[in-house]
Amino acid sequence: MKVIFKVLPVLLLLVACSTENKSGYEITGNIAGPLEEGTQVFLRKSDENMRAIPGDTALISNGTFSFKGDASAPELRYIFIEGVNAGIPVFVENGSINITAHRDSLGSAEVEGTLQNEYYSDFVKGTRQLMDRRNAINSEMQVAMQSRDTANMNALRDEFFELQGSAMDFEKGFIAEHPKALISAMVLSRMLQSQALSHAEVANLFEGLDESIRLSPLGETINTQISSQQRTSVGSQAPDFSAPTPSGEALALNDVLGKVTLVDFWAAWCRPCRAENPNIVKVYEKYKDKGLSILGVSLDRNAADWKNAIEQDGLAWHHVSNVRYFDEIAELYNVRAIPASFILDENGVIVAKNLRGEALEAKIAELLP
């Protein structure tokens, strides 16, 4: 078994909030290990595609470097050293920031001196213990697999799942206990994207954040995403939409509502979608005369591929597509990956989401006995 934790993708999460300190920042770094005089040090941030954006440059002198400037708002950046394949995350905010590290282990650098960096340090210390235990479980699992020790493998699986629960509890506790920390918003954003928590839990944690964090750019993004999820949560009225059919006519969701309606987001290029199609065909054939309606919403880019897949897979129900990949309909339903589906009752209220295989048929059978 390959056991992997989801690591916080901080590289993409650049955030900002208001700050009262207008005296500017000074970052001072002390790097142990072999480094030539004049080695370049770069202070950079990244764009949405994880590409480094050019920034300030300093030079190593007697193992030290420094950056000075003014930060209108705290912002996550990375410090890179010429010839070293690693970076040091640092929240650049007005004040004195001190970095202590070794050339060969920049990932273990200590960053101190300002509030947001102290918060981040606290978070890293807490997660490091969990990561150490995860690594130990991985090592023990490899030994158990090599020796075919089934009993120990099962015990390690149970321990891993327990550790996952502990990690989630730690992160939720950290957010609740650090309402003014930008890292709290970053962790919450990741939870929201991965749907690791229920909508209610995410909304509750968000409301507990300090106003300065909730009104930051990242906070506003989280708030928008929460509202989007609420719009398509179980118990909500499914948003109506319309799009072209394969023959070009406009068709709206409200036009095809049955006693039960399955809104199925899919695409010809999506292998898991195509693999699930035979099951949906089976369910449709069994329940269409009892009132099951299906509206397939394709996220294809190519109309010919979409139409061919409908024919090849025998999808004899309603279909629409803007042929624009993850378009405004996907955004309306907060769909970021496919297959994705929503089951609606006769009034268009969402009663279940993302059911496949036997679970899908069981729910349809429950609604259309």
Helix (H) / strand (E) element for 44: namely strand 40-46
Which residues of the chain are under the pLDDT cut of 50?
1-22
Residue 97's pLDDT is 96
**Residue 343 and residue 261 in contact, taking contact as beta carbons nearer than 8 Å:** yes
The topology (CATH level 3) of 242-367 is Glutaredoxin (3.40.30)
Residue 50: what pLDDT? 56
The predicted-structure confidence for 58-101, as pLDDT tens digits, reads as follows: 999 999 999 999 998 888 999 999 999 888 999 999 999 999 99
Helices (H) and strands (E) in the chain, counts: 10, 15
Dihedral sign computed on CA atoms, order 151, 155, 161, 167: negative
Q: What is the pLDDT of residue 142?
A: 92
* pLDDT the model gives residue 5: 33
Q: Residues spanned by CATH 3.40.30.10 within the chain?
A: 242-367
- Whether this prediction's pTM lies above 0.75 is answered by no
**Residues 214, 15: Cα–Cα separation, whole Å:** 11
Is 313 in contact with 337 (CB distance < 8 Å)?
A: no
Domain with CATH 2.60.40.10 in the chain: 12-111
- In this prediction, residue 48 carries a pLDDT of 59
Summarize pLDDT for 123-159 with one digit per residue, the tens. 999 998 899 889 999 999 999 899 999 999 999 899 9
For the domain made up of 12-111, give the CATH fold: Immunoglobulin-like (2.60.40)
d(CA 295, CA 6): 34
Q: What is the pLDDT of residue 207?
A: 95
